[in-house]
Amino acid sequence: MATFKLPLQTILWKYVVPATTVSAGSYYYYQSKFNNMPTIKAYYDSSHPQAWEKITLEEVQKHSSQNSLWVTFKGSVYDLTQYANKHPGLQSRLLLAAGHDLEPYFNVYDLHFHNHIIESLNENFKIAELTEDDALKAKSFDIPDPYVHEPKRSSHLMVLQPKPFIGEPKLFLLTDNYFTPNHIHYVVNHNPVPLIDENDYEFTVTGNGINKIEYSFTLNDLKTKFDKVDVACTSQGVSYKTKDSDLDEVIERDRSLTMHPTFLSCAVSNAKWSGVRLRDVLKYCGLDVASINSGKHYKNVQYVSFIGHDTDETGINYASCIPINKAIDPLGDVILAYEMNDEPLPRDHGYPVRVLIPGYADSLSCKWLEDIRIDKEELPTLWPWNTYHGNAENNDTETSKNTDNRFVKDIPVQSIICNPCPHSTVGGLNLEEIDVKGVAWSGEGRGIQRVEVSIDGGETYREAELFKPIYQQTNREWAWTQFHVKIPLPENVKQKLKAQESVQMILTSKATDSEDNEQPPYPDLFYSNAKDVSANHVFHVPIVVDCGKQKGVYTIPKVPSHDTQLGKHYPSEFVIHNRI
């Protein structure tokens, strides 16, 4: 059940109580879902509350199809038939485990070892237990690990999920450079990183509106047949700030069987990408880009889909899709990139060629490009559909149809304080002011008009100085703006420090973009959904001003590391979930 705590600094949060069925309420979504779920037959002995009928592994293995999908885990038997087509990793992946034990799969994808997933299995899907001998036999098999050829990664990336890899940079590093160095640029992969030799590499263009059935391009074709362009762009995924150091104490959510990485700092980075315009490539293939841009409507030319070389264990490719108008907009700067910060693309970032769609959620910028398809509708088998939808107010992503919800594209305005970073300690001896640095950005080419910073939890704000060393045209401001401000300590804080008392403070920043969109102070109805996509509320940064340390001494918390054996992703100051 959802748990609510109301600390003093958030007691006036007007959305907490009235929004319990929406903003704070994936629990309520799932509770409603399970209340309305068709009855599942359970081999349950009612004579004893804890007694489940014992069945054999042979019986379980008879239920290994999408019409009847049973699995086992730690001796228990679960019927996942009703859940299978809602699995975020697609039904095809779950069918691999049909009639088998989940543990060997969980050992590869160990993000499933979270308490809320196991609890949901037991509470909502358990139907029986295996005999003692079969419980041991059920998990006595291995599955091949498809992640044996992953690239080496920097120790400066915090590992949120090892397989498929998801990592974000240490937050305090984001203001060291305007362009994020390649080795610390955040990474979100959905499948194993493919091994591709650029000498053998090519991608195809197929579909409606072009002169041939298929065009093929090599990396050398891109470099020799088209003009090279540079695009500076901030990249960010869809599931934004799901770990707020302050607000997570207010709302504890029940996530049912859904598990998504909980980012500490938004998983955002900024880079210069180089490649060729997608518009130029499609024009080369015969697409009438000029007529479409001028408003001519072609019924069979509505969407451009991108298919990546990366596949899951069942052979399903990652894919994404954008409207044709975005794809060929001469001011939209959609490119096929082959360089990142003047270097060949790293493997984690799509080597040798990837799509870059500025202003849109980074999940749409398909990596390891294999095929471009032009059609009248979106691909029906797009991999991210189950993961990256925003929802209607009383609709969750697990039960809704794709057509019920908007696939998240645009990025809302937001900002984050990088220095001091969350849970850091600042020396308080002779300290007169807090030096704050951070980054701000918005989607669809909107620039940053203003950033305001608070050191008292949002009670008062001071405008920051903005820094952007590159020029970008209005409505093409794809790259972030860095900000910096020094805010004097309040008198009451100074008095506590003089009295040798350390002080806890909450820093916040709020950005306003060129269209006067401003970050909301707390989560609200604009992005209420089960998966927290598009969250852009003001981020809370707790710090301690230590009366015993000299001004200028700045201690950052221990960098999180993923440790399966210890059963946790983060040290205590970064605790996200309890794990079994």
Domain boundaries, the chain: 37-138, 414-574
pLDDT at 31: 31
| CA 278 – CA 358 distance, rounded (Å) | 12
Closest CA to 577 of 268, 266, 253: 253
Cα–Cα distances (Å) from 47 to 40, 51, 409, in that order, read 19, 8, 53
Q: 9 burial class (0-12, 13-18, 19+ CB within 10 angstroms)?
A: middle
Q: What is the mean pLDDT of the chain?
A: 81
Which has the higher per-residue pLDDT, 13 or 223?
Answer: 223
Overall size of the chain counted in residues = 580
Q: Which two tokens stand for residue 331?
A: 């001011």
> Regarding predicted confidence, which is higher, 327 or 391?
327
Give, for 467, the enclosing helix (H) or strand (E): strand 465-467
Decide: helix, strand or coil at residue 557. Answer: coil
Query: Tell me, what's the pLDDT at 109?
Result: 84
CATH number of the structural domain 37-138: 3.10.120.10
pLDDT above 50: residue 15: no
Instruction: Find out if CATH 2.60.40.650 is the number for domain 414-574.
Output: yes
Q: Please write the tens of the pLDDT for every residue from 157-216.
A: 888 889 999 999 988 999 999 999 999 999 999 999 999 999 999 999 999 999 999 999
Closest Cα partner for 411 from 480, 347, 497, 492? 480
Q: 3-state SS of 220-282? A: HHHHHHCCCEEEEEEEECCECCCCCCCHHHCEECCCCCCCCCCCCCCCEEEEEEEEEEHHHHH
Q: Classify residue 151 by its DSSP letter.
A: P
Residues 39 and 350: their CA atoms lie apart, in Å, by 45
Q: What pLDDT, on the 0 to 100 scale, is given for residue 531?
A: 53
The residue that leads in pLDDT, 110 or 184, is 184
Lowest mean pLDDT among 69-73, 74-78, 334-338, 387-391: 387-391
Cα atoms in the 13 Å half-sphere on the side-chain side of 451 = 30
This prediction has a pTM of 0.82
Return the biggest CA–CA distance within the chain: 79
Residue 57, both tokens: 């592994």
The Cβ-side half-sphere exposure at 141, using a 13 Å CA radius, reads 12
> In the structure, what pLDDT confidence band is assigned to residue 249 with cuts at 50, 70 and 90?
very low
Give me the amino acid identity at 429: L
Give the list of residues 6+ apart from residue 13 with CB closer than 8 angstroms, or none. Answer: 6, 250, 522
Reading phi first (left if > 0) and then psi (alpha if -120 to 50, else beta), residue 332 is in alpha
Taking residues 313-319, report their average pLDDT: 89
Q: How confident is the model at residue 74 (pLDDT cuts 50, 70, 90)?
A: very high
Mean per-residue pLDDT, 320-334: 95
Instruction: Give residue 237's pLDDT band: very low, low, confident or very high (50, 70, 90).
Output: confident
Residue, of 333 and 560, whose pLDDT is higher? 333
Give pLDDT, residue 267: 83
Burial 555-580 (b: 16+ CB within 10 A, else e): eebeebebeeeeebbbeeebebbebe
Task: Check whether 472 has a pLDDT greater than 70.
Answer: yes
How far is residue 413's CA from residue 555's CA, in Å, rounded to a whole number? 30
pLDDT-based confidence at residue 114 (cuts at 50, 70, 90): confident
Using pLDDT thresholds of 50, 70 and 90, give the confidence band for residue 120: confident
Provide, rounded to the nearest whole percent, the portion of the chain with pLDDT above 70: 75
Is residue 269 scored above 80 in pLDDT?
Answer: yes
Per cent of the chain over pLDDT 90 is 59
Long-range contacts of 146-149 (CB under 8 A, 24+ apart): 146/108, 146/191, 146/192, 146/313, 147/108, 147/192, 149/192, 149/193, 149/195
- For residues 334-354, average pLDDT: 98
pLDDT of residue 239: 52
Lowest mean pLDDT among 63-72, 239-248, 433-442, 540-549: 239-248
By the 8 A CB rule, do 244 and 262 touch? Answer: no
Average pLDDT over residues 411-429: 93
